[in-house]
Each structure stands twice: as structure tokens, then as C-alpha cells.
Amino acid sequence: MKCFVSSNCTCYNGPLYRSRASFSIAVKWLTSMKGKLLQAPFRKKAPPILNPFITQDLQNTRHNLDGNSPQIEAFPSVQKRLPCCSNSWDSILYSAERHLNEASASGLLNSPGGFLSEAGKEFIDGRSEKEYFASIFFKLKATIGNEGHPLLNTVNSYYLQAGGKRVRPLMILLLSLSYFKQNSSAAPWTSFQKLAQISELMHTASLMHDDVIDNAHSRRSLLSAPFLFGNKAAILSGDYLLASAAILLARLNSLHIFDLMCQIICDLARGELMQMDVPPNEKFSLDYYLEKSYRKTACLMAKSFQSASILAGQSEQLQKASYPQISPKSQIVDDILDYQVSSQDFGKTTAKDLIDGHLTAPFLYAIQEDPTLARLYDSEFANHGEIDLAFEIITKRTKAIEKAKFLAKEYQERALAQLELIKKSLTPADDSINFLVELTKTLTNRRR
């Protein structure tokens, strides 16, 4: 495959990528693209928000809080603050971010500047909407520093500024805020912010390494770091982010949390190895898939939640309750979307997991009903016809999608039960935990 930077380069990891000239061209291209990405259609009409995939309907209606919104039964205090399309994933996400920003701007968290710039505070006070950003990463770029090599800074900034749902740190901070308000002996709020930043740094590093392993040219509709900068730069940049996360971990002054969060790195590596090298007797095992998914994705959220409860000085019972079942559900939902959502909506090729030979929940349920899939898988889907046949078996000839949805629902119920236990321990109950509940419920309905 030819290099997009130069027509003279024969591959995306070729010699021109390693030259200073091609790097300069890549930086210029990224700079020009950044300007285009920032010129969002809604910037002139409404304050920009964190999620770059927000729908036009939500952009037009999110300030419509006149009481005509569809009702959310569980929490009236949350409902009244949601846009009129409150049953959407994006809507809940936006409202949860705004809830955090309001808490910070009110001075409640005793954190100068909080999540918002001064202009952001003015928005909360009703004086200005121009510069409002519902972002919880006001310090993230400062965390990785600017003293590194120019290529290192460019690669890291490309991933960190690319946008995305940022669901993990948002949910970590929602749980942290609910604890923080209840316990006067909790760690300073800046410690919880560091924990959220650590989570995102580790996640971003894992994405860089995954893209190298998978030889991915794109991620969520954006060109991948290995494709843009080469495998070596992507690997070293991911390592740098992990080291930055370790530095922040040390500053939390908790050996327990340091141990927990470092286990994430081990789990991420082991999960990737489990996906790369599946034992023959585990090839079509649902239990093996669930363990692999936990290590590759769910462990990050689980141990981050547990660490937040430790920072807040919560009991061992609540620490265990904070070990959520949310992330396994999220992975299963991703697996389902791989078969149900268009490439444009989902940000990656439809049925990419199937094409790459990754066994996910829908495939494993389908093979229980139609053994034909085993033959197709063993032949490595020799042609497009076999891929189409496998796709049809999974989506139309079997109940695989319905069974996968039921599995995700089971994990959702477990997560909600854990959150309910936490909620009962809070006196009085806080909206932060309510937003966390709504995000957990709505996770099944997202389409990206």
C-alpha cells in the first residue's frame, strides 16, 4: 500500500516516513485537518461539546428545557436538565458532562478552574456561551508535556485531541463526585481528576498499540497513528503515555491504587495475547471470549472505579460494589453494533471483527445454532461470498444478535444492582450517581 504522504513511498512504514521531510509534510497535513475539524457546523449557533459525533437534532434541541421533553421515570432531578431528545445516548452524555462542569464552577470541588476555563464559568453563570467546552481533560495535554520530541508530541496530541466519547473518565468522575460530596475525609478532588486522566492515558496508549498489532489504517473514521507516523512512532508514543500515567499514579501516594492500576497494563497485554493466540479447545468458547474481553477492555473501568472508591475512603463492601459490570456490557454492545450499524455511523468497517477472524458474542451464539460457521471460520473466509454467508447466518438465520443483547442486558442488570447499593449508601442521594445509572441504561441504545 502506498504512503499517503508521498507517492514515491511504497508502504506506510517505508523510508520516507522515517525522514524529516515526510514528517514535516505529515505535520502540515494534520494542522490543516485540525482547522477543518474545529469548524463544526454548530459552532456559530451553540457552544461546542465534547462529543464530535453529536447529531444535528441534538445540536438544535439540547437547550430546549421547557418541560416538553420525554420523561425519564427514575430521576426527575436529572430529567429536568436533559435536552428534549433525552432518550438518546448523546443527550445523556452531554447532560452528565454539564453536571460535572456545574459542580466545578460552583466552587463545590475546591479546585481552582475546575473542569472549565473562565469563559466556561461565565457560560454556567449565564453570561456567555461562546467559549463553553464540556471537557474533563483540561489538564491532559499538560500531563504529557511539551518537552518531548516533536514527533512524540504530534502523535500523542493527534490521538488525545481526536475527540471521542470519553465515557470512561466521565463515568469515573461521576462516581467520584458522588463519593466526594459524602466524605469530608476523602482525597482532594485533584486526586480524582488525576485518576480519570490516568484512565484515559492508559486507554489511549492501548489504542496505539492495538492499531500496530492489528495493522489498522483507521480508527473511528480517523487515520490511525501507525498509518500516519509509522509503527515505531506509535509504539514509542504509547509507551510514553503509559509512563506518564505511571508518574501520575505515583503522585496519588497510594500503593493499593498503584498496584490496582498497574494490573491494568498486565491485563491489557494478556487480553491482546489471548486474542492473538487462541487455544484450539477454546476457539468457540464463550467463557474464553468473556475473559479476553474483560482483560482487553473491562479491566480498565473496573479497576478505575475501585480506585475511586479507595480514594474516597469507602468501605470494603462499597469498594467491591464499585467493581462494575458496565464495561463487559459495553464490549458486547460494540460486538453487536459491528453487525448492525453502517460504517459511517460506527466509524469502522461493518463486520470488521468477522473479517479479521475475531470471535465475538454474536458469532459464538450463532455457531451454536449453525455449525456451518465453524467450517467458514476454519477456511478463513476464503472469499467475499463466504463472508456474506457468515454475516447472513449471524444476522438473519440465527438468534445470535438477540442472545448477545440478552447477555448485555444481564451485565446491565448486575451493574445497576451495584450502583443501587452505592446509591443507598449515599445520604442524601446525589445526582451524580443518577447520571451514572442513566448512562448505564442508555449504553445499549448507542450507535457509535
What's the pLDDT tens digit per position in 13-35? 433 333 344 444 444 545 455 44
Distance CA 237, CA 222 (A): 17
8 Å CB contact between 83 and 55: no
Domain termination site, one of 316, 342, 376 = 316
CB count, 10 Å around CB of 297?
Answer: 21
307 and 160 housed in the same domain: yes
Residue 148 lies in a domain: no
* Count of other CB atoms within 10 angstroms of residue 294: 17
Give residue 85's pLDDT band: very low, low, confident or very high (50, 70, 90).
Answer: very low
| Residue whose grid cell is 476464503 | 382
Number of neighbours of residue 407 by Cβ within 10 angstroms: 21
Q: What pLDDT score does 145 carry?
A: 56
Of 284, 316, 348, the last residue of a domain is: 316
Q: pLDDT, tens digit, for every residue of 301-340?
A: 999 999 999 999 888 888 877 766 666 778 898 899 888 8
Nearest to 354 by CA among 373, 369, 341: 373
Establish if 217 belongs to a structural domain.
yes
Q: Please check whether residues 164 and 107 belong to one and the same domain.
A: no
The answer as to whether 145 is a domain residue is no
CATH number at residue 246: 1.10.600.10
Asked whether residue 23 falls in the same domain as residue 44, the answer is no
For the cut 50, the answer to whether the pLDDT of residue 423 exceeds it is yes
Q: Which of 20-24, 262-266, 392-396, 438-442 has the lowest mean pLDDT?
A: 20-24
* Beta-bridge mates of residue 222: 219
> Which of 73-77, 93-97, 147-151, 245-249 is predicted least confidently?
73-77
* Whole-angstrom distance, CA of residue 401 vs CA of residue 395: 6
Examine the pLDDT at 443 and tell me if it is beyond 80.
no
The answer to whether residues 11 and 49 belong to one domain is: no
170 and 251 fall within a common domain: yes
Neighbour count for residue 111 (Cβ, 10 Å) = 15
State pLDDT tens for residues 155-186. 877 777 665 556 788 888 888 888 887 776 77
Q: 131 lies in a domain?
A: no
Tell me the pTM. 0.72
In the chain, pLDDT over 70 holds for what percent of residues? 62
Which of the four pLDDT bands, split at 50, 70 and 90, describes residue 381?
Answer: confident
Number of structural domains found in the chain: 4
Q: Are residues 409 and 288 located together in one domain of the fold?
A: no
Nearest CA to 113 out of 6, 23, 190, 203 is that of: 190
d(CA 401, CA 365) in angstroms, rounded, equals 8
Residues 249 and 149 sit within 8 Å (Cβ to Cβ) = no
**Residue 195: which pLDDT band, with cuts at 50, 70 and 90?**
very high
Q: Is residue 138 part of a domain?
A: no
CB 84 within 8 A of CB 70: yes
Task: Decide if 142 is inside a domain.
Answer: no
Distance from the first to the final alpha carbon of the chain: 28
Same domain, 105 and 194: no
The answer, yes or no, to whether residue 242 has pLDDT greater than 90, is: yes
Same domain, 264 and 378: no
Task: Please indicate, yes or no, whether residues 292 and 161 belong to a single structural domain of this protein.
Answer: yes
Distances (CA, A) of 261 to 265, 277, 393: 7, 25, 40
CA angle 320, 321, 326 (to 5 degrees): 115
The one-letter amino acid code at 403 reads: K
Same-domain pairing of 170 and 261: yes
Residues 238 and 203 placed together within one structural domain of the fold: yes
Same domain as 308, residue 169: yes
187 or 269: whose pLDDT is higher? 269
Q: State whether the Cα torsion 263-218-44-42 is positive or negative.
A: negative
Residues 256-277, mean pLDDT to the nearest whole number: 94
Q: Look over the chain and give the mean of its residue pLDDT values, rounded to a whole number.
A: 72
Asked if residue 139 belongs to a domain, the reply is no
Looking at mean pLDDT, say which of 3-12, 50-59, 68-77, 232-241 comes out highest: 232-241
Distance CA(207)–CA(372), nearest Å, equals 33
Instruction: Give the C-alpha separation, 423 to 62, whole Å.
Output: 28
C-alpha cell at 171: 463515568
Range of the domain at 32: 1-38
Distance CA 438, CA 95 (A): 10
Q: Is residue 140 part of a domain?
A: no
